[in-house]
Amino acid sequence: MQINPPYLMFLGDVPDKLAAKTAYGIVDWRREWCLGQLRLPGCQADLGLPDMTVAQAAGQGVKTLVLGIVNAGGVLNESWVPAILEALEAGMDVATGLHIRLGSDPRIAAAAAKHGRQLHDVRHSEQRFATGKGTKRSGMRLLTVGTDCSVGKKYTALALEKGMRERGFDADFRATGQTGVFISGRGVAIDAVVADFISGAVEWISPEAAPTHWDVVEGQGSLFHPSFAGVTMGLLHGAQPDAFVVCHEPTRTTMRGVKHPLPSIQEVIDLTIRCGQLTNPAIKPVGIAVNTQALGETEARAYLDKVAAEHGLPATDPIRFGVGSIVERLEAEFPKAGA
C-alpha cells in the first residue's frame, strides 16, 4: 500500500478532537505532508491547517484525501460521501482507517474506477497471518499499555522510538493501528484482524531481530476496557514484551465510551505482568507516561512526582517533558540490550 502525499485531511462533522485522533496524529508526526483540512458544518475539531475545498486542494497539488476520523464501529457516514466523490472526480486518491471498506459503497467504487483512482483501506491488510505460537524469538520489545483507550499509547511509542535512537539504541516503531500505519508507512491495524490471528499478526509485525534490537510496539485499548480487552490481550501475547510503559490520562473517572470506572495504574501494571508472563515470564514495567494536557505545568509536575514515588518508576509526559527518564530506566534494566 503506497499512500501518496501531500494530504487533504478530512474531518467531516466530528463532535470532538478525540473523534479526529487519526488526523491529529498524522499532523503531529507528518505535518509536512498535510496541506489543508476539510471540515463540514458542525465540526468541533481544528488541526490548525488552512481550511480548503476539494477544488482548492486539488489546485495546490494534493494527492490524497485522508479521512482522519474514528467513530464507534468504524462506519462511513452518509454526510461524508459527497466530499469523497468530489475528491475522486478531482483526481485524488482516498484513504481511510475506518473499519468499513470505501469500495463497499457502490457510488465510491464506481467513481474510483471511472477516474482511475486508488481507495486505501488502511485497516484492511491483504497479508495472511498464522495463529500466534508464543515461542521466544530473538530481539527486544517494548509495548505501551493503557488504563484506557485514547490515552497516548501511540504518541508514547513514537516518542520512545525517537528518544531511544537519540541515545544510540537500535529501535523501530511498530504500528498496530491505522494512524500509526499512516505515520510509519507500515504495520497492521490489529483491531481489524480476525480474533484467532491477532497474536500471530503481532508476531509478524515484530519478527526475530538482532539481540540488541528494540521494537517499540504501539499498544491498543486496555485490558480493563469491556469493548477492547480482547484486542489488547492478543497484542500483549504476540508482542512478548520485555518491557512495558503504562499510559494514563489523570482527569478521567470512567473509560471512554462506557460506564466502567477507570482502573488504577497499579491494577494495569499487575494485570499486564500476570497476563504477559504467558509468553514472556521476564516482562517488567519501565515507566509511566501521563497525558497532562488538562493540567497546568506546576500541577502536572507535582502529579508526575507523586505517581513516580507511588510506583517506583519514572513518570513523565512524553510530549511535554520528553522520555529521557524512561530511556535511562531501560538502559539500567537491560544493559546488554541498551545503546
- What's the mean per-residue pLDDT of the chain? 94
List Cβ<8 Å contacts ≥24 apart for 77-81. Answer: 77/12, 77/13, 79/12, 79/13, 79/40, 80/10, 80/12, 80/40, 81/105, 81/107, 81/108
What one-character-per-residue DSSP string does 47-82 give? -SSPB--HHHHHHTT--EEEE----TT----GGGHH
pLDDT digits (tens, 9 = 90+) for 303-313: 999 999 999 99
- Residue 174 shares a structural domain with residue 240: yes
pLDDT digits (tens, 9 = 90+) for 218-266: 999 999 999 999 999 999 999 999 999 999 999 999 999 999 999 999 9
Tell me the residue length of the chain: 339
- Residue 243 shares a structural domain with residue 328: yes
Spatial contact of 96 and 120, defined as CB atoms under 8 Å apart: yes
Rounded CA-CA distance 14/43 in Å is: 5
- Residue 196 shares a structural domain with residue 115: no
Say whether pTM exceeds 0.85.
no
Q: Average pLDDT, stretch 296-321?
A: 97
In a domain, 14, yes or no: yes
Cell numbers of 222, please? 486496555
Rounded CA-CA distance 199/196 in Å is: 8
Would you report the helix, strand and coil content of the chain in percent, each value rounded to 5? 40, 15, 45
- Residue 185 shares a structural domain with residue 232: yes
Q: Which of 67-71, 193-197, 221-225 comes out lowest in average pLDDT?
A: 67-71
- Asked if the model's pLDDT at residue 1 lies above 70, the reply is no
Using 50, 70 and 90 to split pLDDT, how confident is the model at 124?
confident
Range of the domain at 274: 140-337
